[in-house]
Chain A
Amino acid sequence: MTGYSKLEMMAVAAGRFIADGDVVFAGTGISMLAATVAKRIHAPNSVVFFETGGIDPSLDELPMAVADPRVMAGASMNSGLIESFSLLSNRRLRTIAFLGAAQIDRYGNLNSTCLGDYRNPTIRFPGSGGACDAASLASGFIIFMEHEKKRFVNKLDYFTSPGWLNGDDSREKAGFSRGGPVAVVTNLGIMAFHPTTKEMILSQHYPGVSPEDVSNNTGFELDLSRTSEVLPPTELELKTLRDKVDPQRLILS
């Protein structure tokens, strides 16, 4: 099994960030794949829950929205939004969120609201949903992005969800007692954040992608000095993803 798609690479790469025992705040799409593949391989004690209130569902079929009835089946419990955001904020837990966005800046701040002026936008996106809450309150979050210059921008058109704010210790100073972006998983590689300045750096690039390719698709300067090639998906990871996680090819297709 040598061939694999970028989507499969992304799902596997993101899944590797999940540790056994993590409580994962998942969206749909690729984050579902990442969370589920991790649970079936290296993090059997991780738990997936949804902002809508579904906690640890069996996920025999992949949900296509966080309010899909598939997030309610075989669950530990079905609750509501207040309960799920309380879990997200629970100090006992290591809660990891998966988020997507239309734009990201060098500190991992996200826009999922609009392009152009907020009151007179050129494009409107769905909005924060629970993204701002997860970015504010979870122990950490991982972002999925298409790697394009227009998405990796110097300045967000609208600032929906807080990353490392202006870098350094600005997040902590603003009143966030924990959390922050851990990684950005794109179709070209994995970005991390500098331990002190909190600026985005290239951490790993995919096989067949050069660090310069990544840099050329980023709208701000990206430190390439620490990157290495990522380990491609293993046979087990691919097999699990295709046969167990998404046999209906709802997301992988």
Chain B
Amino acid sequence: MGKSSFRACLLTLASPVRVFLFGVKRKFITSLIQVEIKMTDNNLGSKLMTAEEAVSKFIKNGDQLALGGFTVNRNPMLLAREIIKQGIEDLHVVCHSHGQALDLLVGAGCVSYLEIAYGGMGRFAPTCIRFRKAVCSGLIKIDDYSNYQMSLRFLGGAMGLPFMVTKSGLETDLVKIDGFSKEDRGKRKIAKKKLEIARNPFGAENDTVVLLPSLNPDVSIIHAQYVGEDGTVRIRGLTFADLEQANSASRVIVTCEEILSRSEIRKDPDQNSLPPFLIDAVVKAPIAAHPTACHHFYDYDPTHLRMYADMARDDGKFQRYLKEWVYDIPDQETYIEKVGLSRLAEIKADPILGYAPGLNRK
């Protein structure tokens, strides 16, 4: 907490007056505005890095990793590809409903343990293909929860609570069957117990509830539309459980479409999602959620997702996909080039609607 509070202090110091004093002290003979820009540049400075730097600095083998986004939307794809490229393995992934980034990470062999509610990509892959193969062939250890349960577990972690409570799932196999072995329980970041059925202390004699262990992932990775030069994160459209995930994690990496000036992002704080002192790394990377959607920037890419589904069904073709779209891509510029301008024009979002109207999604 010490580090965070220190950063919080710095944040409050960043008022124009303080900035002005700071500027005078540093003998900047320049206008207040220029000093402010300089100051904010410095603020993001150490956190602004490439995907390669962010992943190597903040993600290591065996980490518990929370994946932001939801099935076809705002998956942190660039970071997922970078994790694969760096050969990070033995990850313990925690998520609610996930799609493309999960499938890629599982398919590339980066994941050992998975706590999840849903693995699917809409009509392109009703069940994620590499995920299904990995589960059926025992390549990963999996434990199932529901979406609400997983979201509550992140919220519990964010609130500093040991567990959360719900009525969801009573009597079902979600609460009766533990996907992890007794030997695995209590090790790493795996909860001692999957959950606990308890008597409701405020209810009738036999009224029961489900207690869910909170989650505090090592790392949370998120793709957002905007980050301010001060580090403030702004997500447009649905936030899913990204905020709970970021608030519960020890480290947070954010990729973003655009970086806004400090004054721009603070003009309308109502629209902002996460404060700067929770963010450890910011990667400026347009199209970093492709082939999933990023509200108001681009739609999901049906052509790419169909191609992926086709290639993922075959082990050899999947390896070719990884080579072509992950290993052989040195940086995001090359990736964008490979996707191509005509495809990007096809999926470009309408500024009002937020998606690409009339896009062929069949």
A interface residues (Cβ-Cβ under 8 A, vs B): 28, 51-54, 60-61, 64-74, 78-82, 85, 109, 113-114, 118-133, 136-137, 158-162, 165, 173-177, 248, 250, 253
Contacts and interface: CB of A to CB of B under 8 A. Distances in A.
A245 to B, nearest CB: 15
Interface of B is mostly: loop
Given A124-B131, A130-B147, A175-B207, A113 B173 contact: yes
A51 B147 contact: yes
Interface in B231-260: 237-244
Contact of B295 (A69, A158, A248): A69
A61 B357 contact: yes
Contacts of A128: 117-118, 144-147, 174
Contact of B167 (A54, A79, A122, A175): A175
Contacts of B121: 65
A28 B122 contact: yes
29 contacts: A52-B70, A67-B97, A69-B293, A72-B295, A74-B353, A78-B238, A79-B238, A79-B239, A80-B238, A80-B241, A85-B151, A125-B126, A126-B128, A127-B116, A129-B97, A129-B117, A130-B146, A133-B147, A133-B148, A133-B149, A137-B167, A137-B168, A158-B177, A165-B171, A174-B171, A174-B208, A175-B206, A175-B207, A177-B167
Contact of B117 (A60, A67, A82, A127): A127
B281 interface: no
Nearest to A128: B146
Contact of A81 (B167, B171, B240): B240
Contacts of B240: 52-53, 67, 80-81
Nearest to A159: B173
Nearest to A179: B167
Nearest to A158: B173
Contact of A175 (B71, B128, B174, B208): B208
B138 interface: yes
B72 interface: yes
B299 A69 contact: yes
A126 B123 CA distance: 12
A82 B242 contact: no
Contacts of B357: 60-61
Contact of A121 (B136, B239, B362): B136
Interface in B175-190: 176-177, 179
B76 interface: no
Contact of A173 (B206, B242, B349): B206
Contacts of A66: 70-71, 97
A53 B354 contact: no
Contacts of B96: 81, 129
Q: How large is the interface on B (under 10, 10 to 19, 20 to 34, 35 or more residues)?
A: 35 or more
Interface string B121-145: 1110011100110011010000011
Given A67-B72, A158-B177, A176-B167, A133 B207 contact: no
B21 interface: no
B3 interface: no
Contact of A136 (B128, B167, B349): B167
B170 interface: yes
B361 A129 contact: no
B237 A118 contact: no
A26 to B, nearest CB: 14
A70 B296 CA distance: 11
Given A64-B361, A67-B71, A120-B138, A85 B132 contact: no
A208 B171 CA distance: 39
A172 to B, nearest CB: 10
A142 B117 CA distance: 21
A173 B204 CA distance: 11
Contacts of B241: 80-82
A70 B355 contact: yes
User: Which of B116, B120, B146, B237 is the most central at the interface, judged by chain A CB atoms within 10 Å of its CB?
Assistant: B146
A72 B148 contact: no
Contacts of B118: 126-130
